[in-house]
């Protein structure tokens, strides 16, 4: 019983530490590949997305890179969706959105098959996905909802080209610490069962 109580305290403390870090200074990342697209592509272009949330939790500072595309990029953005499906766009890195009321347009993507851009995303950049046929309960300028999608693995970065209008490179966004590592990776939840089982 004492061991179970100790385990409960440790798990509770760890969960509270993660919750306290849910917003400020968190890093997100994605490794993009043609093989992550739906359907996948065999040409082998690739890219990266690296981002860090500001300490006040209002701005996502990011860098997006790409290499080996079949042609210059048309646009790049983050979709609200899971691996294996195609979903609507929440916000742009470059090339849009065009004609969306209340959302500023990002600069055009550099017209190179390999390159890098850096920028910021704030509440001003979040596109509404709250009406049929794409009702995902994300309101315009809902930065908290956007960050939750990133944290829970429900977002992917995507870059599109003329040849592959549906997307040429894609990667699911994951949450990581300052070194790009999973914040949960260092905690062995399996020890709960093992410890409890030793003192029955």
pLDDT at 11: 41
Quote the domain boundaries for residue 66. Answer: 25-182
| 64 and 153 belong to one structural domain | yes
Number of structural domains in the chain: 2
| 149 and 122 belong to one structural domain | yes
| 10 and 35 belong to one structural domain | no
Tens of pLDDT along the chain (200 residues) come to 555 444 444 444 444 444 444 556 799 999 999 999 999 999 999 999 999 999 999 999 999 999 999 999 999 999 999 999 999 999 999 999 999 999 999 999 999 999 999 999 999 999 999 999 999 999 999 999 999 999 999 999 999 999 999 999 999 999 984 344 444 444 343 433 344 444 44
Whichever domain contains 52, its CATH number is 2.60.40
| 133 and 107 belong to one structural domain | yes
| 37 and 110 belong to one structural domain | yes
Tell me if 171 sits within 8 A of 40, measured CB to CB: no
| 49 and 15 belong to one structural domain | no
- pTM for the whole structure: 0.79
What residues are paired with 155 via a beta bridge? 80
Tell me if 160 sits within 8 A of 69, measured CB to CB: no
| 109 and 91 belong to one structural domain | yes
* Residue 102 in tokens: 């209340």
What is the Cα–Cα distance from 161 to 45, expressed in whole angstroms?
A: 11
Phi-psi region of 69 (alpha: psi -120 to 50; beta: other; left: phi over 0): beta
């Amino acid at each position: 019983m004492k061991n179970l109580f100790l385990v409960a305290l440790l798990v509770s403390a760890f969960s509270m530490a993660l919750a306290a870090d849910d917003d400020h200074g968190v890093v997100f990342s994605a490794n993009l590949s043609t093989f992550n697209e739906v359907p996948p592509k065999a040409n082998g272009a690739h890219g990266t997305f690296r981002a860090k949330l500001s300490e006040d939790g209002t701005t996502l500072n990011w860098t997006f890179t790409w290499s080996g595309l079949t042609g210059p990029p048309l646009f790049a953005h983050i979709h609200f969706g899971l691996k294996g499906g195609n979903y609507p766009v929440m916000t742009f890195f470059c090339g849009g959105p065009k004609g969306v009321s209340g959302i500023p347009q990002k600069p055009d993507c550099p017209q190179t098959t390999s390159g890098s851009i850096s920028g910021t995303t704030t509440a001003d950049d979040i596109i509404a996905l709250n009406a049929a046929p794409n009702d995902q309960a994300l309101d315009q300028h809902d930065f908290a909802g956007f960050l939750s999608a990133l944290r829970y693995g429900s977002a992917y970065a995507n870059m599109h080209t003329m040849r592959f209008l549906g997307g040429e490179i894609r990667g699911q966004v994951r949450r990581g610490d300052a070194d790009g590592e999973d914040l949960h990776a260092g905690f062995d939840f399996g020890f709960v069962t093992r410890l409890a089982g030793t003192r029955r």
